[in-house]
Amino acid sequence: MRILIIHTQYYHFGGEDSVVDQEIEILKKSYVVDSLIFKNHNGLKGAIQFASSIWNIKKAKIVKAKIKAFKPDIVHLHNWHFSTGPLIIRTIKKMGVPLVCTLHNYRLLCPSATLLNKNILFLDSLEQSFPWKAIKNKVYKNSWVLTFWLAIIVWSHKKIRTWDKINCFICLTPSMAKLYKDSNFSINNSSFLVKPHFVFQSKNNKIAEKGNDFIYVGRLSEEKGIHLLIEAFKDLPYNLKIIGDGYMREIIKKNIYDYKNIIYLGSMARENVFFELRKANALINPSICIETFGLTIIESFSNHCVVITTNIGGPSEIVTNGVNGIHFKSGDVEDFKRQIKTWFDFSDMQKENMRNNAFQTYLDLYSPDKQLEFFDKIYAKALYNGEGAVY
């Protein structure tokens, strides 16, 4: 079977981009795979890309040419926002190639994509046919103009049934699929399938002795709960290492300057991050938005590291409270501190059992060995519902 992967990389390479690279690598073991990768830009060029994304004929022609040359049996689309736009979906459908789309966020339901506004859950768009409240609240980049235009792009393609032309939508967790099914998106519920992400294990088998330091790995942004993380550890007698980058980097460095128990390590190569996870007491996931998954969580599990996480969204489904990690009430800094202390006070045997459970969870559900079975079923369903390609 021939699979064409189409993806638009973000201006700053992120989790979605990493997932696509890993999936291409694993798919090549069973399929003939080619990819078409676009890239978002910043500044004037990015503004032009965003403005034209409602009907980008140029990118549609590129996709059409690629399909004619490669002749795929399936097209697997990841991110279409914003340099490509939804027109490529209509192009793929017109050429008769079955189309699978992985949903990495909630952009089709709300311009925020995270269902968060000003550090508070924002679910109003789920009940509106057009997200007027999201526009009023400037949920996309704090701009009503940009929010309005993104809303128009999604809404107009909903009206002309572009999204209906996708054979299968891949959601990352059952709760994500339920959110889409229960919303006003109005797509056949049988189109939503669940396939979790996966990670490759570390290539470095270097043994690391467990220490007492807690660790955060990820983007430094508001929706990730960074402010909650800093606020909690300012009052705790435990050490925290922060790894990652983002627009809040300088704010964080300033806010932790007087607190010797909080260390910012900057960005790190993947293998170095994995080594830090193997040394860590536990990973902290303080996200305040409804995460669709939690890639750093399964990376932690693959390195025998338990996770203390928020009790909403994908992370709450990946982490089983008291088994391979601990939940705390989302946005509640006092409960956050209580649960960190609870973990710290566990006996060495309790901690070791939960670390073993975390690693076993990785092996059972999130290792590369499980992925091809998911893809086989999803692609078979897309082919069954698809049409013969006309190229």
Write the pLDDT tens digit of every residue in 317-347: 999 999 999 999 999 999 999 999 999 999 9
C-alpha 113/C-alpha 104 separation (Å) is: 9
Token pair belonging to 66:
């690629």
| Residue 84 predicted with pLDDT over 90 | yes
C-alpha 155/C-alpha 157 separation (Å) is: 5
| Spatial contact of 358 and 325, defined as CB atoms under 8 Å apart | yes
Percent of the chain at pLDDT > 90 equals 90
Which conformational region is residue 225 in: left (phi greater than 0), alpha (psi within -120 to 50 degrees), or beta?
A: left
SS3 309: strand
C-alpha 131/C-alpha 374 separation (Å) is: 34
Q: Can you spell out the DSSP letters for 66-108?
A: HHHHH--SEEEE---TTTT-THHHHHHHHTT--EEEE--SSTT
Write the pLDDT tens digit of every residue in 246-275: 889 999 999 999 999 999 999 999 999 999
C-alpha 213/C-alpha 68 separation (Å) is: 54
| Residue 391 predicted with pLDDT over 90 | no
Give the mean pLDDT of 115-123.
Answer: 93
Q: Which of 6-15, 27-36, 162-171 has the lowest mean pLDDT?
A: 6-15
Asked if the domains at 2-198+369-385 and 214-366 fall in one CATH topology, the answer is: yes
Cβ neighbours for 374, distance < 8 A, ≥ 6 positions apart: 195
This prediction has a pTM of 0.93
Cβ neighbours for 23, distance < 8 A, ≥ 6 positions apart: 5, 371
Single-letter amino acid, residue 20: V
3-state secondary structure 147-199: HHHHHHHHHHHHHCCCHHHCCEEEECCHHHHHHHHHCCCCCCHHHEEECCCCC
Domain parsing of the chain, residue ranges: 2-198+369-385, 214-366
Write the pLDDT tens digit of every residue in 368-384: 998 999 999 999 999 98
Single-letter amino acid, residue 229: L
Please, which contacts does 368-371 make with residues 24 or more away whose CB atoms are closer than 8 Å? 368/26, 368/198, 368/200, 370/198, 371/23, 371/26, 371/195, 371/198
- Report the pLDDT value the prediction gives residue 119, as an integer from 0 to 100: 87
Domain 2-198+369-385 has CATH 3.40.50.2000: yes
Protein fold of 214-366 = Rossmann fold (3.40.50)
